[in-house]
Amino acid sequence: MRGRWFHVASLVGAGAALGILAGPLLGAVLILLTSAPPAWLNLVSGIVHALALPFVAQATCYVYFDARTRHELDATDEPHELPAEMQI
């Protein structure tokens, strides 16, 4: 997986930043634009945050397995196994 560290780090970093900041940023915008009670705004912000984080984990897994598959398929001219049949 050498040589792909910047690609992996940038995708994982950007995804994590978006996932972590989505809830708090939405909460701040709602505080400024609405007159709803703070408890409701905190609830909405928390739900958005909780729904965004699994997508960060999923994107991290996709980037890892993409890099691993590219590394293993580059080693041979013609693979004898499909990428889904890699040994873990």
Q: What is the pLDDT of residues 11-54, one digit of tens each?
A: 889 988 988 899 889 989 999 999 999 899 999 999 998 999 89
Q: For residue 72, what pLDDT is reported?
A: 74
Q: For residue 68, what pLDDT is reported?
A: 82
The DSSP secondary-structure symbol of 84 reads G
Inter-residue long-range contacts of 82-85, CB under 8 Å, 24+ positions, other chains counted = none
pTM exceeds cut of 0.85: no
- Rounded-to-integer distance, Cα 48 and Cα 10, Å: 23
- Rounded-to-integer distance, Cα 60 and Cα 63, Å: 5
Mean pLDDT of the chain: 82
